[in-house]
Amino acid sequence: MILSRCLLALAMVVGPMGAADAGPWVAGLHHMTLTDPVDNRPMQALAFYPAKGHARASHIDGYALEVAEEAPVAQGRFPLLVLSHGNTGSPLALHYLATSLAKQGYVVVAVVHPGDNARDPSRLGTLSNLYGRPLQVSAAITAARSDALLGPRLNGGKVGLIGYSAGGETALILAGARPDLDRLRAYCLERPDDHDACKTHGVLIADRSELSPQADSRVGAVMLMAPLSLLFGRHALVDVHLPALIYSGDKDQLVAVDRNAQALARKLPLTPDYRLLAGAGHFVFMAHCDAEQALRMPALCKDAEGVDRRHIHRSLQRETAAFFEQTLDAPQPQRRSAITLNQATTP
């Protein structure tokens, strides 16, 4: 009898985890137009959320998604997460994570950062980008809470942030970090061959000198992937007192691990959960490529031998949901069994 109860309990925990997307909801997709606080011009965001209905195959900017566009939000009240993509990137590169979290009961608003996205890199290397990105995320939080579709279904609790690459820098500023621009200058003198961090030779273009780093007290936890964080010394992080989950690949070819994720994990006032993925590069966190993408951008699609991108993504889906369940307000009971276990992410 005792054995039967144990087996039943184990089945309740393990059963939904056979697929990371198992659950009572599909992923809805809501297109949002916000106002960029930097210049008061329109900016775009994509909101993924738990929906009832039928998901359909969609192709958006070259990415294949299974979503129910503009479908009604499922009944309940759900935590809000905001996603910040990397320099000259797209939030759709992380659609696998956003849609999985939506199916597990989170509303995920993914900002398309103006002037720093795949179609428009005009603000790259500027103060307006460094300090404007966090303002854009804060604007997305405000917009989501007042949105006619999403607002009534948000639980009103603390917000979780997801940051990839430069999005990690953005998330840290919102959590209370204050960038030290002298660190960038010193780093670029030391490593001038870092063409990603040092495009402007360590000196940001002072196009909006009146802007400054602005934290957002609504933020309750951060999840970072391959974070760009070399601007933050220990003193710059002293006000960051939020739980953090950090992932990085030990073969990151774009963001130097020793000066970014690894140093950040040592210096944060609250010890983060830091996961170093063996053999993984910077782009392992991006969505698995189809055949056309693999031909068009092979450097972003090919992983080292022995690195299973799909396996890493399945672990990210489970562990991110579990992390935010533990650090934000109480989740809906329907998804609790789907995120109980927390498995290692290293393939």
Q: What is the mean pLDDT of each run of 10 residues along the chain (347 residues)?
A: 40 35 80 98 98 93 94 96 97 98 98 97 96 98 98 96 98 98 94 86 93 97 98 97 98 95 98 98 96 92 96 98 88 38 37
At residue 23, the pLDDT reads 54
Rounded distance, CA 302 to CA 88, Å? 19
> Would you state the structure tokens that stand for residue 115, as one six-digit string?
């002037």
70: alpha, beta or left, given left = phi > 0 and alpha = psi -120 to 50? left
- State in Å, rounded, how far the first CA of the chain is from the last one: 37
| Pairing between β-strand 63-69 and β-strand 42-51 as defined by DSSP bridges | unpaired
CA-based nearest residue to 136, from 278, 207, 32: 32
At residue 341, the pLDDT reads 30
Q: Which residues contact 213 (CB under 8 A, 6 or more apart)?
A: 131, 134, 173, 177, 178, 179
Kindly report the number of other CB atoms within 10 A of residue 30's CB atom.
22
> Would you state the structure tokens that stand for residue 307, as one six-digit string?
């690195």
Rounded distance, CA 113 to CA 98, Å? 17
SS (H, E, C) 281-342: CHHHHCCCCCHHHHHHCHHHHCCCCCCCHHHHHHHHHHHHHHHHHHHCCCCCHHHHHHHCCC
Rounded distance, CA 54 to CA 157, Å? 29
At residue 224, the pLDDT reads 98
- pTM above 0.85? yes
What CATH number belongs to 32-48+74-339? 3.40.50.1820
Give exposure, 84-110, as e/b (b: 16+ Cβ within 10 Å).
bbbbbbbbbbbbbbbbbbbbbbbbbbb
At residue 197, the pLDDT reads 87
Q: Amino acid identity of 207?
A: D
At residue 324, the pLDDT reads 98
Q: Write down the domain spans for the chain.
A: 32-48+74-339
CB 137 within 8 A of CB 82: yes
